[in-house]
Amino acid sequence: KAGVTQTPRYLIKTRGQQVTLSCSPISGHRSVSWYQQTPGQGLQFLFEYFSETQRNKGNFPGRFSGRQFSNSRSEMNVSTLELGDSALYLCASSLDSPRNQPQHFGDGTRLSIL
Amino acid sequence: GDSVTQMEGPVTLSEEAFLTINCTYTATGYPSLFWYVQYPGEGLQLLLKATKADDKGSNKGFEATYRKETTSFHLEKGSVQVSDSAVYFCALMGVRGSQGNLIFGKGTKLSVKP
């Protein structure tokens, strides 16, 4: 069974640009969560999607957005990139609510802002 | 709000040494507690979990016991191997709200020398 797949693995952008990251969950999983990992702030929750609806959102500015498609694949978008957005972005999927089911993480997309 | 505090690293041990990584939490009620491990260049893997007081999670020789009275979930292993070198994250999922997201500690880097 394939795991959580995140693409691309690495990305380099410049300030002011926007970026879209993709996450394909494990087959059958309907919940997708996104986390940002930085050396300074550690791992922080961005948002969670279930059946194409955002169910839960962390404390990030509106420049960070996401969506989920009918096949449960999810994308997150960051607009007007800032140097501080450089991070490893991790996606996690679970069968149903992450409260009730274990979350499986992908290997992440490493975003570098120049 | 809910939070997790874990011991600062890095921790360097010799092979076959005893490992303890301390983790304490602040949360309302009875959160679920987790230990995740991150190997270089990879995402997070669930190592073990406990969902109620006095539960002991265990996996691959690692153990942690949910201690409500001390709000702790310390990770232990009797004899570490070089292959255990990784970053370990303590995390909780709170009881507030219906969806759930993980709140992580800052992580503890473990290096095991042969």
Q: Looking at residue B16, what is its pLDDT?
A: 97
Tell me: cis bond preceding B31? Omega within 30 of 0 counts. no
> Can you say whether residue B37 is alpha, beta or left, with left for phi > 0 and alpha for psi between -120 and 50 degrees?
beta
The per-residue pLDDT for B96 is 65
pLDDT of residue B97: 56
Q: Note the Cα A106 to chain centre separation in Å.
A: 10
pLDDT per position in chain B (114 positions), as tens?
889 999 888 999 999 999 999 999 998 888 899 999 999 888 899 999 999 899 999 999 999 999 999 999 999 999 999 999 999 999 998 776 545 689 999 999 999 999
As a whole number of angstroms, the distance between CA A38 and CA A29 comes to: 26
> Residue B9 has what pLDDT?
85
> Containing H/E element for A88?
strand A87-94
Write out pLDDT tens, residues A36-49. 999 989 999 999 99
Give the integer Cα–Cα distance in Å for A22 and A74: 6
Tell me the per-residue pLDDT of B3-25, one tens digit each, with 9 for 90 and over. Answer: 999 988 899 999 999 999 999 99
Cβ distance A43 to B49 less than 8 Å, yes or no, reads no
- In chain A, % of residues over pLDDT 90: 88
> How many residues are recorded in chain B?
114
Q: Check if A43 contacts B (Cβ < 8 Å).
A: yes
**DSSP-based three-state secondary structure for A83:** helix
Ranges A3-17, A92-106, B58-72, B95-109: which has the least confidence = B95-109
Q: Is the pLDDT of residue A2 over 80?
A: no
Determine the pLDDT at residue B99.
56
Closest residue by Cα to residue B19 from B67, B76, B73, B69: B76
Per CB-CB distance under 8 Å, the chain B contacts of A45 are: 101-103
Q: Over chain A, what is the mean pLDDT?
A: 94
- Contact list, B32 vs chain A (CB under 8 Å): 99
Q: Which residue has the tokens 């194409």?
A: A52
Res A75 pLDDT > 80: yes
A6, B42 Cβ separation under 8 angstroms: no
> The tokens of B104 are what?
């992580």
Q: Which of A7, A68, A103, A107 to mutate to test the interface with B (most CBs of B within 10 A)?
A: A103
- The per-residue pLDDT for B81 is 97
| Contact assessment for residue B11 and residue B21, using Cβ atoms and an 8 Å cutoff | yes
β-strands A87-94, A74-78: how paired? unpaired
Annotate chain B with DSSP letters as a single string. --EEEE--S-EEEETT--EEE-EEEE-SS--EEEEEEE-TT--EEEEEEE-STT-EEEETTEEEE-BTTTTB--EEESS--GGG-EEEEEEEE-SSSSS--EEE---EEEEEE-
Confidence of residue A96 (pLDDT cuts 50, 70, 90): confident
**Rounded to a whole number, what is the distance in Å from the CA of B67 to chain A's nearest CA?**
20
* SS3 state at A84: helix
Note the pLDDT of residue A98: 73
Nearest to A32 by CA among A64, A1, A5: A5
For A79-92, what is the mean pLDDT? 96
